[in-house]
Structure formats: C-alpha cells, structure tokens
C-alpha cells in the first residue's frame, strides 16, 4: 500500500495544543515531507483519546492508525519510505540514538512537560502566570465545566507522576536547563564543523 494521498496527521486543535504536542506534530510532519509524502493535518479536540497510545500526533492510513514518531518512522519504512537507506548499520544506530535523545529529552518528555506542568515557581518569578495557569486552561478549553477541570488536573497529575518516576520531580529549572545544555553539547560535538550529521 502506498502512503501517497492516504496519510493524515491528527493533532489537537490550535487553541488547545501545548508546546510538547505541537513539537511532536511538527516532527512527524517534517519527517513525512522529507520522505516526499503528502501531509494533511487534521485538528481534533479529542485527538489524544483517538490515538492508540494516548499520545499525539498519529497518522491514519487506510484502516491503520499509528502514533508517535518512532512507530511512524518504522511504519513508513515498512511501506518503502525511508531517509536512512544510504546509511550503513553503524550510522543508522547512531542516528537512532541521537533522534531518541532529542525526541525524548527536548520534545516530548522531560523538558517541555516539566516546564508546562511542573514549574510554577519560576514562571511566577518572571511575572508570568504559573505554567499550570497556562497549561490547564489550554488543555481543558474544549470541554465544559467540570469535565475540563478534571481532565486538566488528571493530565497534570500524570505528568508530575512521570517526572517523579524518572527522577525529575525534585529538579529545579536550573537543573533542567543544565540537562538541556548537555544534550545540546552532545549534538554539537557530533555535528562538529559539518553542515549535516550524515551525508546529505
């Protein structure tokens, strides 16, 4: 089955989507476009609940639904669309490791979720509303009261539980920034003076 003209990316509506979800959606859109596949973005308020993993974005191709970047990359590769065909096994493994580092550290997990749902003190210091005062209303916006409040607090509780499980629950924003700096340093060292990580 060809993916051409059949795949579309589902994400939350623009007035609801948060930074981490938007970054994930953009990464999937960029990957599909780099593979030369047409991309149609469909915004749905309940996209998170339509996804098989509960995470967005997801693609819908025929009767198949695949969510998150890694599985989407594997799915498109199985359908004959890949960006890594010209790489040897070592380069592929290295590329996958760096992609996971960026995706897990910067896009979806630790940093953006921490800032969106866990960092109330720092946001208050810079005279902005606490992050939860931004995230909860955006997340709950499509739902009526009290469902919206319940779902937003449930999401915040899930994220904070995840942060505690991975050891980030007690981190300060400065410690988070240091982890981001280390991630960027690793990427910078790998890139060196080359314009691309691997051959163009």
Domain ranges of the chain: 8-83, 106-191
Q: pLDDT tens digit string along 62-120? A: 888 899 888 998 999 998 898 888 888 888 888 888 888 887 777 545 666 777 777 66
Are 164 and 143 in contact by the 8 Å Cβ rule? The answer is no
37 burial level (CB within 10 Å; 0-12, 13-18, 19+): buried
Class (C level, CATH) for 8-83: alpha beta
3-state secondary structure of 66: strand
Q: What are the structure tokens assigned to 179, written together?
A: 């982890």
Q: Which of these, 192, 170, 20, lies nearest to 106 by C-alpha position?
A: 20
What pLDDT, on a 0 to 100 scale, did the predictor assign at position 21? 78
Half-sphere exposure of 199 (CA within 13 A, CB side): 7
Residues 114-127, mean pLDDT to the nearest whole number = 54
% of the chain at pLDDT higher than 90: 3
CB 66: neighbour CB atoms within 10 A?
Answer: 21
Distances (CA, A) of 71 to 35, 52, 68, 116, 146: 15, 11, 6, 25, 35
What pLDDT, on a 0 to 100 scale, did the predictor assign at position 12? 57
As a whole number of angstroms, the distance between CA 169 and CA 187 comes to 25
As a whole number of angstroms, the distance between CA 113 and CA 176 comes to 11
* pTM, rounded to two decimals: 0.71
69 burial level (CB within 10 Å; 0-12, 13-18, 19+): buried
């Amino acid at each position: 089955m060809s993916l051409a003209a059949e795949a579309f990316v589902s994400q939350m509506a623009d007035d609801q989507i948060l930074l981490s979800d938007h970054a994930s959606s953009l990464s999937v859109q960029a990957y599909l476009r780099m593979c030369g596949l047409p991309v149609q973005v469909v915004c749905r308020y309940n996209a998170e609940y339509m996804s098989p993993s509960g995470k967005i974005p997801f693609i819908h191709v025929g009767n198949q639904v695949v969510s998150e970047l890694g599985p989407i990359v594997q799915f498109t590769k199985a359908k004959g669309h890949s960006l890594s065909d010209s790489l040897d096994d070592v380069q592929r493994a290295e590329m996958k490791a760096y992609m996971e580092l960026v995706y897990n550290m910067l896009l979806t997990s630790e940093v953006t979720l921490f800032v969106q749902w866990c960092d109330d003190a720092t946001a208050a210091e810079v005279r902005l509303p606490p992050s939860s005062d931004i995230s909860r209303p955006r997340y709950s916006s499509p739902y009526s009261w009290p469902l919206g409040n319940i779902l937003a607090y449930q999401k915040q509780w899930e994220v904070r539980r995840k942060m505690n499980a991975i050891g980030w629950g007690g981190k300060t924003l400065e410690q988070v920034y240091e982890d981001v700096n280390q991630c960027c340093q690793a990427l910078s060292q790998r890139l060196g003076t080359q314009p691309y990580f691997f051959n163009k």
